[in-house]
């Protein structure tokens, strides 16, 4: 066939083993190849985005799951790469990789999902999850079980296959080839992976019973992923074991397994990986926005406080200056003119000197003649000395008269006329 017929779309130098990759008549191979390549590229971009988000992830409970996400993406990329082994033709290497890596890669994916469920169950109840190294060791232990199971199964079914003594070389090669395995045996070798799928489904349901709602979103993503995975596995197992034998025969076996790989890998990417990477820094951004809304202007607040302190200090200094300017009431007599500022006020009565004198004369006319204003005189020193006591007496009488005259209004005059 390789020498006489070359499919349309393939070059003359292409080996017949790879005709499904370029044959236009086999559309399923080209379509699955395109989806597999796109998935590999997208997984690589998500892996870079996951590593780039590590410095910005401040929540330690979310940061502990980064390693599991990274391993999960590696296994998902392996599933997409394994699709090419089912698209190309069968030989010893492709059949061995199919039988061994199918269960190993799916086992790694579901082991990571199961440990994520364990982490989220603890977080949903205690709000404090286990460390990253414990989660990685748990996932590694679950994955190694499938590795051991597939290795033993491959050794038992291929290497120790009994060969009749009279068989030719072609018959012995066909019997010891990993391609010569029944479909039922291939499905039975994946029982441990099916157990992991059911465990992930039950554990993700248990997350919904937790009291901390912030971790239930991740649990919901794992729950939806496990439900889609169960549906895909039930569909391909039924088709691989019963449907192909009744409809298309063995020619439908490889497309069935390839479609299962691509479909389940894209479910892992779209439903689980993308939301998980988006949730890594969601709590930090919400806390930052909440802090900015609660304290929108921290710098302005400090400046306001400093300004208030400075204004209060200035007011204190001004009040202190005013208090220093005020007279001391205990040591100095109070003058009736102390509150006068030169402005007329209708509500405060401020008498003048002429009004005080007139008031005194009106209230005490009998004492008005005792008020004598001293005048300058040209008498002799003796007369001045003799008249000093009388002058003092007159001044005392005038002061007494003025005080008595102003007693009614509560005004006291201490100066002497």
Residue 284 has a pLDDT of 47
Note whether 55 and 141 are same-domain residues.
Answer: yes
Looking up residue 82, the CATH number of its domain turns out to be 1.20.1070.10
Note whether 408 and 263 are same-domain residues.
Answer: no
pLDDT at residue 187 tops 50: yes
Distances (CA, A) of 343 to 151, 155, 258, 346, 409: 111, 117, 105, 10, 21
Last residue of a domain, one of 281, 296, 312: 281
Last residue of a domain, one of 281, 307, 329: 281
pLDDT at residue 300 tops 50: no
Q: What is the mean pLDDT of residues 346-365?
A: 57
Q: pLDDT over 70 for what percent of the chain?
A: 61
Q: What is the mean pLDDT of residues 35-39?
A: 95
Q: Residue 332 carries which DSSP code?
A: S
247 burial class (0-12, 13-18, 19+ CB within 10 angstroms)? exposed
pLDDT at residue 162 tops 80: no
Residue 310 lies in a domain: no
What confidence tier does 210 reach under pLDDT thresholds 50, 70, 90? confident
Residue 100 lies in a domain: yes
Return the H-helix or E-strand segment holding 279.
Answer: helix 274-279
Report pLDDT digits (tens) over 100-116. Answer: 999 999 999 999 999 99
Residue 165 has a pLDDT of 53
What confidence tier does 322 reach under pLDDT thresholds 50, 70, 90? very low
Note whether 274 and 381 are same-domain residues.
Answer: no
Residue 311 lies in a domain: no
User: Could you tell me the two tokens for 106?
Assistant: 């799916």
Contacts of 190 (CB under 8 A, 6+ apart): 102, 103, 106
Of 363 and 217, more confident:
217
Q: Which of 269, 253, 119 is nearest to 179 (CA)?
A: 253
Residue 211 has a pLDDT of 79
- Contact at 8 Å (CB) between 367 and 401? yes
Residue 112 lies in a domain: yes
DSSP codes, 102-129: HHHHHHHHHHHHHHHHHHHHHHHHHS-P
Domain that holds residue 111: 16-161+177-281
Residue 307 lies in a domain: no
- When divided into structural domains, the chain yields a total of 2
Note whether 102 and 183 are same-domain residues.
Answer: yes
- Tell me the pLDDT of the chain averaged across its residues: 74
* Most confident range, picked from 40-44, 206-210, 342-346, 384-388: 40-44
Note whether 108 and 257 are same-domain residues.
Answer: yes
Report pLDDT digits (tens) over 244-279. Answer: 777 766 678 889 999 999 999 999 999 999 998 888
Contacts of 40 (CB under 8 A, 6+ apart): 77, 80, 81
CA distance 222 to 203: 9
Last residue of a domain, one of 225, 249, 281: 281
Q: What is the mean pLDDT of residues 31-55?
A: 93
Note whether 104 and 228 are same-domain residues.
Answer: yes
Distances (CA, A) of 90 to 17, 103, 169, 187: 7, 18, 18, 19
Residue 340 lies in a domain: no
Note whether 272 and 377 are same-domain residues.
Answer: no
CA distance 218 to 224: 10
Return the H-helix or E-strand segment holding 28.
Answer: helix 27-52
Residue 74 lies in a domain: yes
Note whether 229 and 91 are same-domain residues.
Answer: yes
Residue 398 has a pLDDT of 45
pTM over 0.95: no
Note whether 257 and 393 are same-domain residues.
Answer: no
Length of the chain: 417
Note whether 263 and 365 are same-domain residues.
Answer: no
Note whether 277 and 361 are same-domain residues.
Answer: no
CA distance 101 to 292: 50
Of 171 and 160, more confident:
160
CA distance 89 to 21: 10
Note whether 183 and 58 are same-domain residues.
Answer: yes
Residue 77 has a pLDDT of 95
Residue 325 lies in a domain: no
């Amino acid at each position: 066939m390789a020498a006489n017929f070359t499919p349309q779309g393939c070059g003359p130098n292409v080996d017949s083993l790879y005709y499904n990759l370029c044959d236009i008549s086999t559309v399923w191979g080209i379509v699955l190849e395109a989806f597999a390549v796109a998935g590999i590229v997208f997984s690589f971009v998500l892996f870079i985005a996951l590593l780039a988000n590590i410095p910005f992830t401040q929540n330690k409970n979310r940061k502990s799951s980064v390693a599991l996400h990274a391993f999960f993406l590696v296994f998902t990329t392996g599933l997409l790469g394994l699709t090419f082994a089912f698209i190309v033709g069968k030989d010893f290497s492709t059949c061995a990789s199919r039988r061994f890596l199918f269960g190993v890669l799916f086992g790694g994916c579901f082991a990571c999902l199961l440990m994520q469920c364990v982490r989220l169950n603890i977080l949903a109840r205690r709000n404090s999850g286990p460390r990253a190294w414990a989660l990685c060791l748990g996932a590694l232990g679950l994955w190694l079980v499938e590795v051991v199971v597939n290795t033993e199964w491959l050794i038992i079914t291929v290497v120790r296959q009994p060969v009749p003594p009279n068989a030719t070389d072609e018959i012995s090669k066909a019997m010891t080839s990993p391609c010569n395995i029944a479909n039922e045996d291939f499905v039975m070798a994946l029982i441990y992976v099916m157990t992991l799928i059911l465990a992930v489904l039950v554990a993700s349901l248990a997350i919904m019973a937790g009291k901390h709602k912030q971790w239930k979103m991740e649990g919901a993503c794992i729950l939806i992923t496990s439900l889609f995975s169960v549906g895909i596995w039930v569909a391909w197992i039924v088709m691989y074991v019963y449907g192909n034998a009744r409809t298309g025969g063995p020619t439908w076996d490889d497309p069935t397994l390839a479609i299962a790989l691509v479909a389940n890998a894209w479910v892992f990417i779209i439903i689980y990986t993308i939301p998980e990477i988006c949730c890594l820094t969601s709590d930090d951004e919400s806390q930052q926005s909440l802090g900015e809304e609660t304290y929108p202007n921290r710098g302005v607040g400090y400046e306001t406080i400093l300004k208030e302190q400075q204004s209060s200090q200035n007011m204190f200094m001004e009040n202190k200056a005013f208090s220093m300017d005020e007279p001391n009431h205990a040591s100095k007599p109070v003058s009736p003119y102390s509150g006068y500022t030169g402005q007329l006020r209708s509500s405060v009565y401020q008498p003048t000197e002429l009004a005080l004198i007139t008031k005194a004369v009106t209230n005490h006319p009998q004492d008005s003649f005792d008020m004598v204003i001293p005048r300058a005189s040209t008498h002799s020193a003796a007369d001045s000395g003799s008249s000093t006591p009388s002058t003092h007496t007159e001044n005392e009488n005038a002061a007494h008269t003025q005080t008595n005259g102003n007693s009614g209004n509560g005004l006291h005059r201490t100066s002497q006329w």
